[in-house]
Amino acid sequence: MLSKREEQVVRCLVEGRTNNAIARELKISENTVKNYLYRIFNKLGVSQ
């Protein structure tokens, strides 16, 4: 259901990391993190 990268983002989020911290750890932009979160929330049916 979720891609490996999306799973990495979720793990970081569950650990309480900020979007900025997730971006730094995964070596992606903060905007990319936001895009991943948008897709993850849609896939899981989470309201924003």
* pTM metric for this prediction: 0.90
Whether domain 4-44 has CATH 1.10.10: the reply is yes
Q: Please, are residues 10 and 40 in contact by the beta-carbon 8 Å criterion?
A: yes
Question: How do the domains of the chain map onto residue ranges?
Answer: 4-44
Q: Please, are residues 41 and 28 in contact by the beta-carbon 8 Å criterion?
A: no
Q: What is the pLDDT of residue 47?
A: 85
pLDDT digits (tens, 9 = 90+) for 1-48: 999 999 999 999 999 999 999 999 999 999 999 999 999 999 999 986
Q: Please, are residues 12 and 22 in contact by the beta-carbon 8 Å criterion?
A: yes
